[in-house]
Amino acid sequence: TLTAPAPFADETSCQCQAPHEKLTIAQARLGTPADRPVRIYADGIFDLFHAGHARALMQAKTLFPNSYLLVGVCSDDLTHKFKGFTVMNETERYEALRHCRYVDEVIRDAPWTLTPEFLEKHKIDFVAHDDIPYSSAGSDDVYKHIKEAGMFVPTQRTEGISTSDIITRIVRDYDVYARRNLQRGYTAKELNVSFINEKKYRFQNQVDKMKEKVKNVEEKSKEFVYKVEEKSHDLIQKWEEKSREFIGNFLELFGPDGAWKQMFQERSGRMLQAFSPRQSPNSSPTRGRSPSRSPSPPWVINKTSPPASPKAASASLSSMSEGDEDEK
């Protein structure tokens, strides 16, 4: 478990105690004793330390089963002389390497070209670097003599990322980063920005803020309209369901065959029956006429049918008495 950064070579007493015998790549791949790790050296500028650097160091560390990785970092003076100006200074670059998990030891102020004396001093078995010829310091390939000595082991570059790519992005989007840092509190002097450009960048920042506010308002408006449409759709759907239910109930009650019509017909029949009841049939048989006698005069009272009222009865009695007197 890693609990501390990798030590610097000039500040540590951790050295390989076993005799430094020459190893071949085949011997290194078979494995070495625990007290005799394969000492691999990788060097570079490591400006703006990124994933491509880390992957190269990971490959160097895992080339052999038992390895010890030393990383050499060139100083600012040497780098500015042979390669150019760096974004990070040498102290920042040293510290970045110390905190990489694959690094066992950091060599500060590493040489630009590896000498036999340097390789012997640090007991280096192999040098790891990508296989592309690295022309510098008047040489077509600064690792040519290492390759000829059989001490070179290649690693693969990570495509799509490099220090130059990162710097290119910054230069390309310079205005964006200048405005960003002005907004975060850096002064125009710290950013080496002129007075006119400072005002221009600050005005652009204000415009961007307004655009962002308008964008937020538009998004909220769209969200509000969407919610209103969704609720309106639900309300319309519920209204349609209720209206269908209301129409169905209305037709069931007042339709052509509805309950209201049947109830009205029943009540109408009862009212008509109450106003004009049916006459009951006459149960008594009609008295037969005698052939020898003439029909009864109209004043003869039918004994079977009672008078309709007391006045009619008295009128019938008076007529009967008058009839008897005539007969006499």
Mark the ranges of the chain whose per-residue pLDDT is less than 50. 287-292, 294, 299-301, 303-305, 307-309, 313, 317, 321-328
- Rounded Cα distance between 53 and 46, Å, is 7
Task: Please write the tens of the pLDDT for every residue from 44-74.
Answer: 999 999 999 999 999 999 999 999 999 999 9
94: nearest Cα among 214, 26, 35, 8: 8
Structure pTM? 0.62
Would you state the pLDDT for residue 15? 56
Q: Which residues pair with 129 in a beta bridge?
A: 154
Q: Longest Cα pair distance anywhere in the chain, in angstroms? A: 189
Distances in Å between the alpha carbon of 165 and those of 119, 130, 168, 172? 32, 18, 5, 10
Q: Which residues pair with 127 in a beta bridge?
A: 41, 152
Distances in Å between the alpha carbon of 7 and those of 14, 57, 76, 106, 108? 9, 16, 20, 6, 11
Q: What is the DSSP letter of 84?
A: -
74: nearest Cα among 105, 115, 43, 42: 43
103: nearest Cα among 35, 29, 23, 40: 40
**Domain locations in the chain as residue ranges:** 25-155, 163-265
Task: Please write the tens of the pLDDT for every residue from 305-323.
Answer: 454 445 554 555 455 544 4
Would you state the pLDDT for residue 193? 87
- Rounded Cα distance between 169 and 180, Å, is 15
Distances in Å between the alpha carbon of 271 and those of 253, 254, 259, 261? 22, 21, 18, 15
Would you state the pLDDT for residue 16? 54
What does CATH list as the number for 25-155? 3.40.50.620
Would you state the pLDDT for residue 225? 83
Would you state the pLDDT for residue 124? 95
- Tell me the Cα Rg of the chain: 60
Would you state the pLDDT for residue 325? 47
Q: Which residues pair with 40 in a beta bridge?
A: 69, 126
Percent helix, strand, coil in the chain, to 5, is 50, 10, 40
Would you state the pLDDT for residue 97? 96
Would you state the pLDDT for residue 273? 73
- Rounded Cα distance between 54 and 82, Å, is 23
Q: Can you give the three-state secondary structure of 27-65, one letter per residue?
A: HHHHCCCCCCCEEEEEEECCCCCCHHHHHHHHHHHCCCC
Would you state the pLDDT for residue 3? 79
Task: Please write the tens of the pLDDT for every residue from 103-128.
Answer: 999 999 999 999 999 999 999 999 99
